[in-house]
A and B are shown apart, each in its own frame.
Chain A
Amino acid sequence: MRTNNMQEIVLKGIRQIIMLILLIYLVFPFIWLVSISFKSTTEILTGGMHVIPKDFYFDHYRSILNDSNLIQSVFNSLVVSIFSMTIAVMIALPAAYSLVRFKTTIKNVVLGWILASQIFPAILIIIPLYMVLRYLHLTDSIFGLTMVYVVWELPFVLWMLFGYIKNIPLELEEAAFIDGATKLQYVYRILFPVILPAIGATAIFAFIISWNEFLFALVLMKNPENITLPVQLSRFTGMEGQARIGLLAAASCLATIPSLILFTFMRKGFKSGLVAGSVKI
C-alpha cells in the first residue's frame, strides 16, 4: 500500500511537470506579446529576456486611441462578427432541427455540403465570390462581408447545433405540438431556451471564426474605412516593419481580448463535456 502511495505521488509530480512544459510552449508567446506591448521601442529592439519591462510604457496603447484607422477597423470587425454570428445562429437553428427530424433528399444534400465545404480551398470561392458581390453591388461593403461570413460560419454552426438537437428527447416536441405549437414556435420558444448553453457555445465559435478571418477580408475589402482588424494589423507588418512593433503588439493584445473573454465563459462547457455533443462526428 505504501509503495502504491509513493508511486501515485511521483506520478502526479511527473504529470504536473509535463503539463508545465506544454503550458510554457502554449502560453509564453502570448505573455511575450503582452510584455513587449508595455516596452518602449528602444527596449524592444535591444532584445534581452526581460519578461517584465524595465519601465512600464503605456504610449503604445495611447497611440492606438489616436489611430483612427485602427479604431475604425476594430469597430468594423465587431460589427461584422456580431451580425454574422447572430444571423448564422438564428437561421441555422430551425434548419438544424429539420435536419435532425426529417429524412429527405435535401437533408443529405445539406449534410454533404457541410462536409464538402471543408475541403474547398478559399481561393476557388474568392474570385467568383467577388464577381457575385459586384453583381449584387455588395463589394467593399460591410453588409456584403457579413453575408460572406454567415455562409463561412454555417457549416460549423449547423454541425454543432445538429449534434446538440439530436440529443433532445422527442417527447419535448410532441408535448409542444399537442399544445398546438407550430414547428417554428417550437424551435424559437421551446427548443431555444432548452439548448441555450449550447447555442452560446456555438455562437462564440461563430464569432471567433469571423473575428479571426483574414483572406476574404483582405481580398474583398479595399476602402480603408471598411477593412477589418486582421487586415489592418497585417498592413502594419509589411511597410513600417520593426519601427512600430510596440504599437502592433499593443493592438494585437487588444484584438485577442474578445475571444479570450468568450473562451473563459466557456470554461464550464469544457468541463461538463458540452462540446462533446458536437464532436461525435
Chain B
Amino acid sequence: MNQHSLKKSQEFSQFKILLPILIPIIFFSLLPLGRGIYLGFTDYTLGSSIKFNGFENYFQLFKDHYFWKSFQVGIVWTIAVSFGQLILGMGLALLLHSGIKFFSIYSVLIVIPWAMPPIIRGIVWRQIYDPDSGILNSVLMHLNMIMHPINWLSSFEHVIPAVIVAGIWGGVPQTTIFLLAGLKNISTDVYDAAKLDGAGIWTKFSKITLPLLKPTLAAVLSLNFLWNFNSFGLVWVLTQGGPGGLTRLPMLAAYEEAFRYGYVGYAAAIGNVMIIILSVVLYFYLRIQFKEQVKA
C-alpha cells in the first residue's frame, strides 16, 4: 500500500470510530452554532420571519448605551473574579502541597462550593447578604463595624464587590485542584538541588515554582476567563442584573434581549461580539502554550 492510500484508509477508519460523537456534535453543536452566528446578522424577533440585515445589529449595538455598560461590567467581573480565583487557588494549592497536616480533610472540604449548582450558590449568598436576616450584617453590626444594616445586593456601591466575592468563591475549588495537579508535576529534584544551594522559601517560589508552573497558570487563567465571561446562573439568582443594570453581565443582557423582549437577532449579535472578545483571550493562551512547547 502506498503512502497516500494508507492515509486515506486511516482517515476512513478513524471517521468510523468517531461517528458516534460526530453525529451529536454536528446536530446539537455545530449546526445550531452556525445558525446562531448567522442569526446575529438578521433582524429575527420571536414569531416573525428571519430577514438578513447585514451589520445593522452591530451599528445599533455600537450606539446602545446598555450594551456598552453590560460589557464594561462583564470585563470588570471577569478580571476580578478570575484573578481572585487564581490568587486564592494558588495559595490553597501551595498550602495543600506543603505536606500540611489534615490534608485529606481539607481536600474534601475545599470542594464544597464546587459541588453546589450555581443556582444554589446564588441562593446561599442571597441569604448571607440579606439586609434584614443576613448573617453578614449581623456579624458586622455585632463587631460594630457598621451601624446600620447594608442592603448589599441593591446598593450601587456595594453590589459589584458583593457579587464578585460570591463569584470568586464558586471557582476557587476547580482552580486549586488544577494548580495542585500542576505542582505535583514539578519534580522534587529541582527543589532538593535548590535546598543544597541554600535557597529560601521565597527564592524557591519565585525562581522554581512560578516559572515551571507558568503553562498551568496560563491554562487555568484563560479557562477561568472564558467561563466567568460566559457565566449566568449565579448572578441571575443574586441580582437578575440589578440594581439599575449594574450587574447585567453580557449573558444576562443577551438572555433578556432574546427571551424577555424577543429580539433574537440582536441577542445573537451580542453573542457574536462576545466570541470576538473570547477569541482574543484564547489567542493569547495559545500563544503562551505554543511558546512553551517550542522551548520544551
Chain A contacts to B: CB under 8 angstroms: 12, 15-16, 18-19, 22-23, 25-27, 29-30, 32-33, 36, 44-49, 91-92, 94-95, 97-99, 102, 104-107, 110, 113, 115, 117-129, 131-132, 147-148, 150-151, 154, 158, 183-184, 208, 211-212, 214-215, 219, 229-230, 233-234, 237, 242, 245, 248-249, 252, 255-256, 259-260, 262-264, 267, 270-271, 273, 275-276, 279-281
Contacts and interface: CB of A to CB of B under 8 A. Distances in A.
B209 interface: no
A163 to B, nearest CB: 10
A266 to B, nearest CB: 8
Contacts of B27: 132
A211 B120 CA distance: 12
Contacts of A276: 181-182, 184-185
9 smallest A-B Cβ distances: which pairs?
A124-B36, A128-B35, A259-B115, A128-B32, A124-B271, A276-B181, A212-B117, A119-B278, A47-B133
B142 interface: yes
Nearest to A91: B20
A117 B108 CA distance: 30
B162 to A, nearest CB: 13
Nearest to B219: A281
B172 interface: yes
B108 A263 contact: yes
A124 B124 contact: no
Given A122-B230, A215-B232, A249 B127 contact: yes
A127 B122 CA distance: 25
Contact of B21 (A102, A154, A281): A154
Nearest to A114: B25
Contacts of A115: 282
Decide if the interface of chain B is mainly helix, strand, loop or mixed.
helix
Contacts, number: 280
Nearest to B133: A47
B134 interface: yes
Contacts of B272: 124
Given A32-B127, A151-B25, A122 B30 contact: no
B18 A106 contact: yes
Decide if the interface of chain A is mainly helix, strand, loop or mixed.
helix
Contacts of A234: 119, 236-237
B268 A26 contact: no
Contacts of B121: 29
Given A30-B116, A230-B120, 7 more contacts: A30-B112, A102-B14, A119-B279, A125-B36, A128-B31, A154-B25, A280-B185
A127 B169 contact: no
Given A26-B169, A127-B258, A19 B106 contact: yes
Interface of B: 7, 10-11, 13-15, 17-18, 20-22, 24-25, 27-33, 35-37, 39-40, 88, 91-92, 95, 98, 100-101, 103-104, 106-128, 130, 132-135, 137-139, 142, 169, 172-173, 177-178, 180-182, 184-185, 215-216, 219, 223, 226-227, 230, 232-233, 236-237, 250-251, 254-255, 258-259, 264, 267-268, 270-272, 274-275, 278-279, 281-282, 289
A171 to B, nearest CB: 21
Given A105-B11, A119-B278, A279-B182, A29 B264 contact: no
B11 A27 contact: no
